[in-house]
Structure 1
Amino acid sequence: MPLNLNPNFDEHRWVINIRRALEEELDEDDNESSACIFNVPKTLMCSDPESYTPHQVAIGPYHHWRPELFEMGRCKLVAAKRTQKQLQCLKFQDLVQQLIKLEPKIRACYHKFLDFSGETLTWMMAIDASFLLDFLQIYVIREGKTLSRHNAILRDIVMLENQIPFFILKKMLEFQFQSLESADDVLLSMLMGLYKEISPFKMMQDLPKIELSDCPHLLDFLYHMFVPKSEGPTEIIDVEDHCEADEQGMERFFWGSNFVKQLLKNLLLSRPVKAIVKLPWTMLSNLPGFSILKHLVTFFCFSNNIEENKSENESSKISKPPLVEEITIPSVSELSKAGVRFSPTNGNISTISFDVDCVTFYLPTISLDLNTEVILRNLVAYEASNASGPLVFTRYTELMNGIIDTEDDVKLLRERGIILNRLKSDEEAARLWNGMSKSIRLTKVPFLDEVIEDINKYYDGRWLVKIRKFMKHHVFSSWQFLTLLAAILLLFLMMLQAFCALYGCSRSFRIRRTQRLS
């Protein structure tokens, strides 16, 4: 059981907690490693506190004593009375007595020390669980169709710090239905109705099968619905045939293939070029104009060799965490101008892929509404706090943040059916993605990293992109290019001066002017 040695707590309670902790026998399952309900990491909390702090109702102990949430206490008592009616011959106090036996297990679920007595904690859990179950029943009765006034409560119950363990909900349902199997079935139907209501991935057809015994609380259930352990095959929504020939087909073949590149290589390896190479190239290459020419030849003709050498060096660093630069990716508008098509899928984030042959970027359809940002942020916070493996969902939000920069990017994805925008405008949707915090730690996500690498490789291989990059790095931002322009201008002026001195430009100009005046 986690301890708090802060002397500001009540001394008598502190001594009781220490004595009880020392007298308890250590079990394999009763330790701090079983904690599943965490505090939001400070780096994420500081970015947007409103998305992690409940505004209507406190579920569990973390926010229980906040005065602004006391108003929902009446609704909780009403839900507790309804639960008591459903207990038939039992009283609500009998249920609390059963939960007292689970007090050590309850405390072990929370990462933060709970400065409550055992009786206070169990009563709190029983009442909050009654309210949560009473609220979730609406998704079974109305088949997931809820009223708009429930949106505020929906946002609160998916927050990381507002969770209670599932075994408490199961215990209460078991008292009502006299069967653990019936309790699991009822709870699962409630959770599936909730999922269909708030899920951003509403186009998913094949929902993953999840065992409630593997999910410690509601937010973990939602996380495994979005990022399932067993990933099925990708199913693409057939909007149109993306591999058919179009007006961009010849352009993509000509510039995207190695035809022009091979032609230039053959030209550079010809005899005339070899003869030029025999000149004092080292001395000439130091001149401004020849230096740019050297960069031009290297950049366009031998960039593949450089990229291959880089890939060989990077292959030895697969196990290392990625650098921040490796997450960069062109925006939707830039990719669209480079010939990349976007197509929606009816799966989860495991269906993200990039087809090089069809030049098509496949992304799952996601619905954006008032609750989406809170759900996404708390899933990222839970993954960062709980997962020891790759941060798959976090990398997905970073990918979307990378390809969406402006409202034009959102508009393109919306027109392709990838984003179902139920917010006020595309600009608000762009702010949602751009406001998502970065991961608190960098990690490798193989299938997403491969997609990002393939897209960057295709984009950087486009000739128009290469020309733009070359002009930016080696021309416009190069002092050598400015020196070359100044030298050409000076040479032109000197030639003009010599020509005028030889042929008398000023004299002829005066004669023509005199003739016009006359």
Structure 2
Amino acid sequence: MASVNPFVAPTSGDQPWVDQMRKTLKTQIAVPIDTPPLSIFSIPQILKDEKPEAYAPQRIGLGPKHHFQAELYQNMQQNKLTAVKRVIKPHQVPDLEDHVAERIKQIIPVLSPCYDSFPETDEDAFAWLFAIDGLFLLDQLGVYLEKGFAIDEKDLIMLENQIPLIVLKEIEKALSQSGENVDDFWESKFRFFSQSNSPFLLSKENIDFSRVNHLLDYMYHSIINNETSSRDVSFIKPGSIQAEKPATEELMEAVIQAAGLIPAAKPFLGLLQSVEKVLYETEDESTIQEIRVPSVSELCETAGVKFVLATSEEGIRNIAFVDGTCFLPVITLGYDTEVILRNLVAYEKLMAKNSMMGGFGLELTEYVDFMCGIIDSAADVKMLREQKIIEGDLRDEEIVKLFNGIGRSLGNMSGQSNLRKTVAEMNRVYNDVPSVRLKNEAEKQARAAAKAITFLVSISGTLVLAREAFVQASGSDTTQMLFSFVSEKLGSF
């Protein structure tokens, strides 16, 4: 049977591509369901490198990205089949293929666009894959609702492991005999699972289930409150914007390059390179960045800032700094929280970057950046725990490791968000403390002194190189080239 992936680049001319597009569009239009948005992504390698096990399922592989992974398949396939039998038995479904797989097969044309990469295989294979995994997910959510546990909750919430909601709706329609509202059926299961596993309080408002993409998407919007942000998001590719070097650093580099041209000046080369390394060595690119804000301990002890638990109805959008008091929502941290938090943040960033419909900001990402900034030690965690801002059974040291291990987002809001304004006000209060002002001024003077030293070293090195040039190649082209090179740099300083 023909491939169900219409997005593979053609290899044999234009007409096959035209035929393929004509067929694809025709089949998508024939399906009486709107094509869902792209919402299931492969995790970028930069995130996988931070913590691979946070994004790759350890026991349960769902959907085309992980279903056939050898170890997951071997250990879980029979459990999936057992779960399928458990679900369909009460409904007296005589033939899974006729009642469920065939129904899913009809929506394959609008199912593949949910994924950023969809492997090539035939429609029957995908229909069975989604039927088995969808029924298994239904079974696990049902067991969780009744008994409070599943085989592996964190695997069910991973971004690459999501099953599109349209698959689950088709399954329930195939099984239901009572005409029960399918949205209500799935919302009850999604909400209970999300309430039990979300690190944050969920919105009390009903989520528009017609716009829910999958389980992770439901949890995300329940946290964010499913409100459209008016702030645009711009993404900066790492390394695409080169930082401007100070003139003193450029001059030092010029002197070093000149020294490399003169054999007799090479003894000075190592000295100059050492000075440059000390003065201008940049941080390791792998160093994790975090939002610029002092830690909880520094803010409390130095600036008298208080941290207080916000009201029980408030979430991450309600963070505020008023009259020296920072109001924060509760966050509950357990052993699976990091996996859930990382996948929520990854989903937000990828949707903000790829969603054509908009509606995705970086609010959750900014909150995580903020927590990474204010938590530097177990003392910071202890202060927040005493105020009931942090709850859960994760130890203080593990919480520090969690927030210090999550890398800074590469996405930036084009406008200043409420959280950024809060951070700016906290920094202003902190920097107005006399001792902090004195420290900042001392650091400023130290940087100025370093520049002055660099200038003196550069001038001295230049004079030495000039003398060597005259001795070795008086009147030669090398001398003229050296003087032109150094004079140009001196003129730009």
Distance in 2 (alpha carbons) for counterparts of 1:189 and 1:31: 23
Is contact 2:93-2:175 (8 Å) kept?
A: no
Aligned to 2:246: none
Is contact 1:59-1:128 (8 Å) kept?
A: yes
Distance in 2 (alpha carbons) for counterparts of 1:113 and 1:60: 10
SS where residue 25 of structure 2 aligns? coil
Cα shift at 1:138 = 2.1
Aligned partner of 2:92 among 79, 88, 92: 88
> Could you say if the C-alpha distance between residues 32 and 88 of structure 1 is closer, same or farther in structure 2, counting changes exceeding 3 Å?
closer
Is contact 1:330-1:456 (8 Å) kept?
A: yes
Aligned to 2:379: 408
Q: AA paired with 2:300?
A: S
> Could you say if the C-alpha distance between residues 16 and 58 of structure 1 is closer, same or farther in structure 2, counting changes exceeding 3 Å?
farther
Matched, 1:133 2:138: yes
SS where residue 62 of structure 1 aligns? coil
Aligned partner of 1:327 among 261, 272, 291: 291
Aligned partner of 2:211 among 214, 218, 225: 214
> Could you say if the C-alpha distance between residues 20 and 78 of structure 1 is closer, same or farther in structure 2, counting changes exceeding 3 Å?
farther
> Could you say if the C-alpha distance between residues 157 and 33 of structure 1 is closer, same or farther in structure 2, counting changes exceeding 3 Å?
closer
Structural RMSD (CA) = 3.1
Aligned length: 373
- Map 1:375-386 onto structure 2 (within 5 A): 375-386=340-351
Is contact 2:55-2:160 (8 Å) kept?
A: yes
Cα shift at 1:41 = 1.9
Aligned to 1:488: none
Cα shift at 1:52 = 0.4
> Could you say if the C-alpha distance between residues 63 and 107 of structure 1 is closer, same or farther in structure 2, counting changes exceeding 3 Å?
same
Distance in 1 (alpha carbons) for counterparts of 2:176 and 2:24: 33
Q: AA paired with 1:352?
A: I
> Could you say if the C-alpha distance between residues 478 and 85 of structure 1 is closer, same or farther in structure 2, counting changes exceeding 3 Å?
same
| Deviation readout 1:358-408 (Å, 9 max, x if unpaired) | x11111110111111011111111111112543111111100001111111
Distance in 1 (alpha carbons) for counterparts of 2:214 and 2:290: 34
Cα shift at 1:98 = 1.1
SS where residue 229 of structure 1 aligns? coil
| Deviation readout 1:151-174 (Å, 9 max, x if unpaired) | x61111111100111111111112
Task: Extract unaligned runs of 5+ from structure 1.
Answer: 232-323, 483-518
> Could you say if the C-alpha distance between residues 325 and 477 of structure 1 is closer, same or farther in structure 2, counting changes exceeding 3 Å?
farther
SS where residue 361 of structure 1 aligns? strand
Q: AA paired with 2:338?
A: E
TM-score normalized by the length of structure 2? 0.69
Aligned to 2:316: 349
> Could you say if the C-alpha distance between residues 436 and 82 of structure 1 is closer, same or farther in structure 2, counting changes exceeding 3 Å?
same
Greater mean alpha carbon deviation, residues 187-196 or residues 326-335: 326-335
Is contact 2:36-2:111 (8 Å) kept?
A: no
Aligned to 2:77: 73
Q: AA paired with 2:371?
A: M
SS where residue 327 of structure 2 aligns? strand
Distance in 1 (alpha carbons) for counterparts of 2:419 and 2:337: 22
Aligned partner of 1:431 among 392, 395, 401: 401
Aligned partner of 1:39 among 16, 21, 42: 42
Distance in 1 (alpha carbons) for counterparts of 2:451 and 2:182: 76
Is contact 2:374-2:380 (8 Å) kept?
A: yes
Distance in 1 (alpha carbons) for counterparts of 2:132 and 2:190: 19
Runs of 4+ in 1 over 4 A off after TM superposition: 15-22, 26-33, 475-482
- Map 1:256-271 onto structure 2 (within 5 A): none
Greater mean alpha carbon deviation, residues 412-421 or residues 470-479: 470-479
SS where residue 308 of structure 2 aligns? strand
Greater Rg over alpha carbons, structure: 1
Distance in 2 (alpha carbons) for counterparts of 1:440 and 1:479: 31
Aligned to 2:258: none
> Could you say if the C-alpha distance between residues 112 and 365 of structure 1 is closer, same or farther in structure 2, counting changes exceeding 3 Å?
same
TM-score normalized by the length of structure 1? 0.66
Matched, 1:374 2:339: yes
Cα shift at 1:196 = 1.8
